[in-house]
Structure 1
């Protein structure tokens, strides 16, 4: 009966309504997007008709012929993330890529990729990767413990030779492996037994900095200059001649020329006359120089630019615009949050030992465009080092107004330009050291309360809670539970206007846990404050559970508070009960569904580092070491599990999560950079309005094989996709404010070309709309 009533209403609506469909890009909605940073070029390598460049581990290729730029990532077939070293084999016509984790890819000119995982799987990760030289069919990798030889023709690791000392560089020359070690250039024949350290001989008793075979010689640099070694290692008749007293830091060679460069000069020699160098003046900013087959010199500069030059007489002239400047500024994304369609990203974090620091990374992403806040000149204006941005927040009353915390104080921005610096000189902020040094004003955890007061945590001081009041004055809120606490990061203002503070680190004078403060909406009045701090709690079964090392906080659409800890994830179903003596915390159980009544605790003992809630009230749970989980609204079902090994997820170590409520896109911040997964749930609307409903892509073209997404719906709307003849090809309920159709009929076959009606009715059958989508 219900279905009949709804369909009768839809019949009337169908005759009277016509929804104008929205055309969008034909990118599959149920997929991955990677956001590598291409701003700081550190190395370039010409290969065939392209130039490859590394930007802090991210690979990009550029075609000078048509100015085409390609981002090369796991989505395009690479096996891993974070390339450390690369070189090109002209005989095998492949680019050799060595990743930071010792994985190896061979990227051939035709686009084919071959993975060589032996070194990664056999490595304990302790050896540093120092240098790579590719010559002919061989690649030699110098590490902090020895040399790895790769046979490119056989596409395998020939051997990994532990020499017991650091190797600065390595190369294959005239049938022998050469290794640049401390105060010794040594070699061993490939046909000998390089695994036996006694088989290695010394060619020169000096420290070589670079090694490169070219034109029957092995070129190397030392503190005394540039040298060429020639002869037969097997015969032992090696001779050395010095070509220059200059110390070169950049070596490059192709079949015709070799290029040597430093900050003042670029020297070039021909394969037909390798003992003669032609010298040209270089810029002090030049860091690395290579040469393409067409004679173009490609220069990597100290400020991260990639620029092409031509030799004009005896001088270099720039011939093309610099390559790069794409994507986010850096692969740093420890903190993220959405404000409407705008993503806010802060890249730094608090290092409790003050040993690791991060560039001042503060970014937004909106309408497919990345933008960075001012960095240059901030330290000059404040007189304090500008780094380690730990959190960022947008003024709820002014979208152009932002605040950011750091390890050196609070920074205010207007229109992404630095506006004001707050420290212990002009605000109620405090340094963690007795002398008041501003370098130790360790702030984090920005949150606005309902009255527009800005809360933050001031780590490692007596009174850690500080508030910039809406009137511009300051308040300090003393919490005995948090006195002198370190590494307080996340805060949250819940629906009751209470403040939650997560403590992630236990030290001698503080046990980590979770605080809730009811400040009665009067942060300047401490007399009416009530707080409760817990490091343990009883779960629903009466078992005491550990709430130490709290990493993440999120309140869902039902008002439940989800808490990510080192021990797993917990739920405070009634936040107001936190203050009660008989409080119990929920440790969600996932039924085994194996015919028994047994269940397992959700992610028990899995460190849950981040929590985000999507439009359907489902939970996205990021972890340290186990990737990303999607669970049902109550957590009793694991709907999906994403790992770096099985998906394009960049890393299994998740720092932060944020969901775009309008599109369903889940932004995932990892220790290897930023990526996203296109979820299927968006924010539901209160009322069904044809002006807010969108269908995309529309039309659905023959080469598109992804989903059709309908957004702007109310929660639990009933949706039917029908032919013009009234045949139902798909039906279901909206997920949050979205419905996803795979453009197939109920038998799983792609539908025929034509126009399809999308009939939508609210859950109470009170209203409905009709949309159209064209399949061509």
Structure 2
């Protein structure tokens, strides 16, 4: 009876159109890891880790689809293109299905499986799609669901395990009059495909026992791969013959143009009817095969690799063509640093307790203008003659953008010049020493770093008394002993580092709160948890940022604090106290970001604050924190997850980059750094055309510039003092009503009244 109720509920389509964010956002997803490949309409459809790209075989053009276009950003497991209905169907690990129709922007989200309460969350994975007679048979971890492609609605769901239990179906195929279902542990079962009562598990017959990785028809025969990677040819009656055995794991079976493609971990093979091998590949020039998926048609293999994107190799050849959209090397960015026109991304991983093991061996990515340059880990190692594992922080030299320093939480400090690794500073060639804890080598665990206004790079080393280090412009290492303020040996990690306008150094820790150091007096102080000790909400400080008013914003694992007078931090006999920001919410006083796990804080050109969290997305706050200007989550933005690890802001373009645990996205912000003069004053969009409902940005301002906007008769409609390099005008007269069509004058005067400039904005209603 429960089966009938479930099937009835699935008849109700739970469909929603996804929002497109292309006007304000840009995606920077990695497409190197290809999970599945489909084809049709002279295109190849490639499901990468959590985004999709289409490759046009005629024009050789690439089109990408990601959260920017409305995809979920979850982990893709399978894709299928229906030529009959011109639909691309995408299946996910969490049970979500998304449907993209050719020529249409809207993406249809099918959430029936995802939201079904009677299926455990760990049994909703979409394994495969099989199209037959206008229906899509969906192989899942719980059984089989049927989706009507013509009506875009669910039909029945089949629980075909013993007694109607849920079993993991890896693949289905239809060979009339039967439908066959291969399970990972419960054999191969068949039923009459035209049977109107397939919901009854008793109508399914087990014809072969054991576990299977894949199954597909070829001509009048059926083939399956068992868990021992043997390829079996079998009949509906259960007679089997082993026709091939592979030494590496079988990944997928795919059928296209009467060719069966069998992909293993390190090879791909094409067979015609009768299991006649047409071609196979066990190696290609320039690549070490590590495959997740594959397909073949038109005498070409299409290889879905784990790290190299899509490779196209003609039958009988070993010469590949790589098809890979521009993007970073991974979809799990750990840390960012931005400078005008560029961004550096690291992918090293430590957990919340700063455990670096198992050591990560990932390269780094550099975005300059619109192009990514990816430096593979093997190239890093070869260039510096070492193993720079766990690269956790990038710091661009503000005086020389071509010079970047990368902190390794295990091996030292990596220097890159003009995109080329030049040296790995470690115990063999610098003043850095390994930390030895109870006789155990803990490596050189570097983390937070920042340049001061003298060109010195300050950075932190955990697990050593001399944990604060300065690298001078001439290459000298100078160490500061921090053991008088904390016990660095017992401290798990020193975290973020920032420098005040006076040149004082502040850094966070895992369990000792906030530590400050005054280089001029060689003195320390610190903030701890609780009233009287510094008033931090937690001892773990993960995020620090000085704003334009020299106030220090502190993000902890359990909330936010602000140090309003960091200049008095080192006064003798004074225990500084940080303050919570209290806001009114529905008339009730609340602590801002109460108990939120804050991962990063960044200050933009308008002195507003971007705050990243581990579970609640991103908050954009006014300069004093009293107003939430924007809030981005997976529900209202292209963030692929609410776990945001880092933020970086391009100071001149205002673009804000978000590093999430499922990819990198960028928001076209409007707050830019102040200019030295008004030479680059401009407004956009200009003209403001009918149908535009956003703000006009007046950019190219100096700090604290006075901006007045008048109509052509001189009547004032807007006035504001800039915080950074830009201000926003909502095209109203002081917020009362939208101004009429016409030309409006922008009059800008610098803070010292030394320079004045006039610009024009045309409004067309």
Partner of 1:489: 495
- 1:304 equivalent in structure 2: 308
Given the alignment, which residue of 753, 756, 769 partners 2:757? 769
SS at match of 1:37: coil
Deviates more, 1:39-48 or 1:716-725: 716-725
Residue of structure 2 equivalent to 1:207: 211
| Contact residue 590 and residue 636 of structure 1 kept, 8 A | yes
In structure 2, the partner of 1:663 is 653
Tell me which residue corresponds to 1:9. Answer: none
* Pairing partner for 1:736 from 695, 717, 724: 724
**Which residue in 2 is equivalent to 1:466?**
469
Q: Distance in 2 between matches of 1:394 and 1:413?
A: 10
Against the structure 1 CA distance between its residues 157 and 623, is the aligned structure 2 distance closer, same or farther, given a 3 Å change threshold? farther
- C-alpha distance 750-574 of structure 1, shift in aligned 2 (>3 A): closer
Q: Is contact 1:760–1:769 with CA below 8 Å preserved after alignment?
A: yes
2:11 aligned residue: none
CA deviation vs aligned residue, 1:194-224 (integer Å, no higher than 9, x gap): 8998887542234322122454544212336
Aligned partners of 2:312, 2:753: CA distance in 1, in Å?
Answer: 64
Q: C-alpha displacement at 1:602, in angstroms? A: 0.7
User: Which ranges in structure 1 are unaligned for 5 or more consecutive residues?
Assistant: 1-26, 232-236, 505-510, 521-527
- Structure 2 residue 565 is the aligned partner of structure 1 residue 584: no
CA distance in 1, matches of 2:616, 2:43: 37
Offset of 1:138 from its aligned partner?
Answer: 2.5
- Compared CA separation, residues 748 and 676, structure 1 to 2 (3 A): farther
How far is 1:124 from its partner? 5.7
Tell me: CA distance 1:157–1:605, structure 2 relative to 1, closer, same or farther (3 Å): farther
- Determine helix, strand or coil for the equivalent of 2:114: helix
Q: Could you tell me which residue of structure 2 aligns to residue 501 of structure 1?
A: 507
Corresponding residue for residue 225 of structure 2: 221
Which residue pairs with 2:566 in the alignment?
Answer: 575
CA distance in 2, matches of 1:748, 1:81: 42
Residue 569 of structure 1 deviates from its aligned partner by: 0.7
Q: Give the 3 Å change call, closer, same or farther, for CA 476–710 of structure 1 in structure 2.
A: same
Q: Deviations over 1:338-358 (max 9, x none)?
A: 334433322223244444544
The alpha-carbon distance between structure 1 residues 218 and 135, as it changes in their structure 2 partners (threshold 3 A), is farther
Aligned to 1:323: 323
Instruction: Give the secondary structure class of the aligned counterpart of 1:75.
Output: coil
Distance 2:427 2:160 in 1: 53
- Structure-2 residue corresponding to 1:337: 337
Q: Using the TM superposition, name which of 189-198 and 465-474 deviates more.
A: 189-198
Q: By how many angstroms is 1:444 displaced?
A: 0.9
Of the structure 1 ranges 428-437 and 78-87, higher mean CA displacement relative to structure 2 is found in 428-437
1:241-640 correspondence runs (5 A):
241-246=241-246, 249-254=251-256, 256-262=258-264, 263=266, 266-269=269-272, 274-285=273-284, 287=291, 288-292=293-297, 296-301=300-305, 303-311=307-315, 315-316=316-317, 321-351=321-351, 352-373=354-375, 375-380=377-382, 384-406=386-408, 407-432=410-435, 440-480=443-483, 481-484=486-489, 485-504=491-510, 511-520=511-520, 529-538=522-531, 545-579=536-570, 580-592=573-585, 594=587, 598-640=588-630
Contact between 2:56 and 2:62, CA under 8 Å: does it hold in 1?
Answer: yes
What is aligned with 2:130? 134
The change in CA–CA distance for 1:462 and 1:684 in structure 2 (over 3 A counts) is closer
Q: Distance in 1 between matches of 2:144 and 2:435?
A: 47
Deviation at 1:370, TM superposition (A): 2.6
Range that drifts further, 547-556 or 53-62: 53-62
* Cα 1:178–1:742 shift into 2, 3 Å: same
181-190 vs 95-104, greater mean Cα deviation: 181-190
Deviates more, 1:435-444 or 1:360-369: 435-444
Counterpart Cα distance in 1 of 2:275 and 2:502 = 79
Q: 1:125 to 1:389 in 2, by over 3 A?
A: farther
Q: CA deviation at 1:711?
A: 0.8
- Whether the 8 Å contact between 1:616 and 1:735 is mirrored in structure 2 is yes
State which of 34, 38, 47 in structure 1 corresponds to 2:27: 34
User: Are residues 1:680 and 2:696 paired?
Assistant: no
Distance 1:707 1:457, change over 3 A: same
User: Aligned partners of 1:176 and 1:431: how far apart in 2?
Assistant: 63
For 2:728 and 2:158, how far apart are their aligned partners in 1?
51
Whether the 8 Å CA contact 2:395–2:406 is kept in 1: the answer is yes
Q: Post-superposition shift, 1:704?
A: 7.2
Q: Specify the alignment match of 1:22 in structure 2.
A: none
Q: Structure 1 residues 456, 628: CA separation in 2 closer, same or farther (over 3 Å shift)?
A: same
- In the alignment, the residues of structure 1 paired with residue 750 and residue 452 of structure 2 have an alpha-carbon distance, to the nearest angstrom, of 34
Q: Identify the structure with bigger relative contact order (alpha carbons < 8 Å, sequence gap 6+).
A: 1
Structure 1 range deviating more: 133-142 or 189-198? 189-198
2:182 matched to 1:179? yes
Shift of 1:604: 1.0
Query: TM-score, with normalisation over the residues of structure 2?
Result: 0.82
8 Å contact from structure 2 (residues 22, 69) kept in 1: no
Residue range with higher mean Cα deviation, 706-715 or 64-73: 706-715
Q: Mean Cα displacement is larger for which, 529-538 or 296-305?
A: 296-305
Q: Distance in 2 between matches of 1:709 and 1:296?
A: 51
CA deviation string 1:593-647 (max 9, x = no partner) = 64xxx42111111112211111111111111111111111111222222211122
1:713 aligns with one of 686, 692, 701: 701
In the other structure, the counterpart of 1:116 is 110
Equivalent residues of 1:518, 1:529 under 8 A apart: yes
- The question of whether the paired residues in 2 share the 8 Å contact of 1:28 and 1:704 is answered with no
Q: Verify the 8 A CA contact 1:405 1:443 in the aligned structure 2.
A: yes
Q: 1:93 to 1:139 in 2, by over 3 A?
A: farther
Structure 1 pair 438/39, CA: closer, same or farther in 2 (3 Å)? farther
Contact preservation (8 Å) 1:625, 1:653: yes
